Structure 1
Amino acid sequence: MARKHYYTQRLTRIVCSAYSCWSSIILTTISLTQYMCTGKVNMNDKIALYLVNGALGAGKTTLVDFLVQQPEFAGARVIENEFASESIDSCTLAQRVDEVATIAGECICCSSGEELVDILHNFAISGRAPVIIESTGVANTLRVVEKLLAGDIFEQYDLKQSLYVVDGAEARADGLAEALLAEAQAADTVLISKLDLLAENDRQQLIETLLQQGLTNVVNMDHGKFDLAQLDDKSQTLDYLLLHEPAENAAENALNYSVVDMAELDINAEKIEKIWTNLRSKYALRRMKGAVADGNKIYHIEATPQQIRVTRGAIDESLKLVVIGERAREITRAVIMKELG
């Protein structure tokens, strides 16, 4: 149904641009409306679907972790898309939800989308609880929605909300860069993370700038938490797609990754911060996450160009680091050991 709506609306746009005869346009629109009404499905019978997107390290997984603990998301299933070939976050989410499916090593907006569609169809068979799709930090929301349309996903699912997370600590004073702004504009709700890292004046300035850039529903997010009442009642993302072409995903082509085994290497918090600073500049890195050990202590690492967060990790965390950047594939265990001296 949704896919028919999408393609018929696209057809109407083409007709409108190609012909100036208003009577033909009116007749075409009436016919399409009648066609869509014949296949109408009760939205209450569909499974709630949520899309979560945002830049690398913005706080998408932290947001998902918060959502799945809310009564509105009881029993929620999660589909996690990792740019790298291994998932660092799936173990954390698995502690909160019964079903976590991971698509690793490719971006779902640039791949064929078959794996994503298959997982969603299987979830539809196994239950009616909400489903959350967490995209990679380089995904294009509109392209993901196109994949879902092509797979007839909206015959079974109702797109409730498209959420985009903006990293407050990484955002520029003059607003979002063009690529990030395009993604934020396609979302129903924009959540700003890490505002606690900014001075009060800078926080207010950032929010005002985002509003000036045309973002209407901007919400503060504190370590993934926010008031769910601030979400819109109905997603407008499908309607937005009808009027806008998905942007080219240049970031996905420019970035690569490496997964480095950190077992049997003793690295304390001070050393990992130094390593990140050096590697970030040498290899044009955009993201590092994972876990390292210092004796019996496990440390969880989350790093972006402007910040690094080192916290105590779980004893069962895999001792690996995932690095993403323009020259990330050059980083090996030997490179890390050299940085350690």
Structure 2
Amino acid sequence: MSKRIKTYLITGFLGAGKTTLLNHLLSRSKSALNYVIENEFGKSSVDSALVTKNYNKLFELNNGCICCSLDNELIEVMSQMIQTDVQPDNLFIEASGVADAGQLASIFKREDVMQYFDFQQVVCLIDTENFEDRVREVPEMYRQIVASDLILINKTDLVQKKYAATIKSDVEKINPLAKITLTTFGKFDFELLDISTDSILTQVDHSTLDAIKPVHRMKSIAVEVPFEFDRDQLYAVLSTSIFLYYHQLYRIKGFVRLKGEKQAVLVQSTGNKLTISKQKRKDEYPKLVLIFIGRDIERKGIERLIQNAISTKVNAPTV
């Protein structure tokens, strides 16, 4: 039998920095044959356009999220890999921000799967700024932490050192078995990935995971935006919305065109912060779409919000 495919699962709540970390890992392994599975919550994809091209093949799974069941589409992709003449050296899976990492990783503990895939670690990213609020209200995030082998407490440059240390202590209480380190921009000592340990899944008390039942009130709503926005108008409407609905609207991301600019720009929110930035990759023309992810959000409210952003008068945002 040929060598097994080293497999890494990247998890973490919405906006924690998973794609940035994936790009670091791909750059580190660019001399190897790398496959990537991108899984987004909802039917529209944005993150795949943000992945650097240090990979040989990328698969997108966008029909819901692979957290809820042993997704047939995922199994099909894995079957394709092992049936090719040349298997990849590494498989990197970027799970959706609401994925159940424990259930997903358990697929790779099946005997038939272990013959071909050498599962390494579950790597979880945490957004330091938003950890305290989100971990209380999003059970999926708690489960991600419990199931992880390596936890990166990310974006520590945005908070005071004492506060970052407090978050680290809180995370250690949730998962005392994991390797935990503070990071900025998803950069860390990559040797932590090479330290061979038994997966947390073989050590964790599964009754702990089973007791944390995700309540699936999350929705992903994609709205095509084939028109041009005024930068200031768009920023005002979206930033006000995420500030007012911080505990309901968790993530905005997508590509739009702005008046006076040729290149589509990336719009994304993390916590209550919105950024509008130029693409780093200029070799592709992404689909113009804005994706809104949150709890109990409705399409009509999102469409009214978009209408406010393109109108000449800014109205009160509605979600």
List gaps (5 residues or longer) in structure 2.
Answer: 312-319
Contact kept in structure 1, 2:30 and 2:54, CA below 8 Å? no
Q: Secondary structure at the match of 1:137?
A: coil
Rounded to whole Å, the distance in 1 between the matches of 2:232 and 2:57 is: 33
Report 1:47-196 matches (<5 A): 47-71=5-29, 74-93=32-51, 95-126=53-84, 127-149=87-109, 152-172=112-132, 176-177=135-136, 179=139, 180-196=141-157
> Taking structure 1 as reference, are residues 73 and 109 closer, same or farther at Cα in structure 2, changes over 3 Å only?
farther
* Deviation for aligned residue 1:334: 4.8
TM-superposed deviation, 1:240: 3.2
Alignment of structure 1 residues 250-265 onto 2, 5 Å: 250-251=214-215, 253-265=216-228
Q: Distance in 2 between matches of 1:128 and 1:198?
A: 39
Residue 240 of structure 1 corresponds to: 203
Q: CA deviation at 1:335?
A: 3.5
Spell out structure 1 runs of 4+ moving beyond 6 A.
none
Q: Where do 1:228-307 residues align within 5 Å? A: 228-231=190-193, 232-240=195-203, 243-244=206-207, 246-247=209-210, 249-251=213-215, 253-268=216-231, 271-278=234-241, 281=244, 284-295=248-259, 296=261, 297-307=263-273
Measured in 1, the distance between the counterparts of 2:22 and 2:92 equals 8
1:312 correspondence with 2:281? no
Q: Distance in 2 between matches of 1:87 and 1:168?
A: 25
Would the alpha carbon gap of residues 204 and 243 (structure 1) be closer, same or farther in structure 2, given more than 3 Å must change? closer
Whole-Å Cα distance in 1 between the matches of residues 40 and 47 of structure 2? Answer: 9
Q: The residue matched to 1:322 in structure 2 has which SS? A: strand
How far the C-alpha of 1:51 sits from its partner, in A, is 0.8
Partner of 1:324 in structure 2? 293
Q: Identity rate of aligned residues, in percent?
A: 23
Q: 1:149 to 1:230 in 2, by over 3 A?
A: closer
Distance in 2 (alpha carbons) for counterparts of 1:229 and 1:311: 32
CA distances 1:6-50 after superposition (whole Å, capped 9, x unpaired) = xxxxxxxxxxxxxxxxxxxxxxxxxxxxxxxxxxxx9x9311011
**Contact conserved, 1:192 with 1:219, CA < 8 A, in 2?**
yes
Alpha-carbon distance in structure 1 between the residues aligned to 2:66 and 2:255: 25
How many angstroms apart in 2 are the aligned matches of 1:188 and 1:320? 35
Q: Which residue of 1 aligns with 2:315?
A: none
SS at match of 2:56: coil
Distance 1:226 1:205, change over 3 A: same
Question: In 1, distance between residues paired with 2:270 and 2:203?
Answer: 30
Query: Separation in 1 of the partners of 2:31 and 2:166?
Result: 33
CA contact (8 A) 1:159 1:235 kept: no
2:102 alignment partner, SS class: helix
Aligned in 2, Cα 1:229/1:146: closer, same or farther, shift over 3 Å?
closer
AA aligned to 1:287 is R
- Which residue in the other structure is 1:12 paired with? none
Contact 1:117 1:148 survives alignment (8 Å): no
The size of the alignment, in residue pairs, is: 297
Larger radius of gyration: 1
Query: Is the helix fraction higher in 1 or 2?
Result: 1
SS at match of 1:191: strand
TM-score of the superposition, structure 2-length normalised? Answer: 0.82
Structure 1 counterpart of 2:186, one-letter code: G
Distance 1:112 1:185, change over 3 A: closer
TM-score, normalised with respect to structure 1 = 0.77
2:130 is paired with a residue whose SS is: coil
Equivalent in the alignment of 2:187:
225
Is the 1:108–1:135 Cα contact (8 Å) retained in structure 2? yes
- Aligned residue type for 1:132: F
* CA distance 1:168–1:245, change in 2 (3 Å): closer
| Mean CA deviation greater in 230-239 or 100-109 | 230-239
Provide Cα deviations, 1:48-98, integer angstroms capped at 9, x if missing partner.
011111001111111111101103872211111111101101122263312
How far apart are residue 210 of structure 1 and its match?
Answer: 2.5
Amino acid at match of 2:188: F
| Corresponding residue for residue 17 of structure 1 | none
Secondary structure in structure 1 of the residue aligned to 2:27: coil
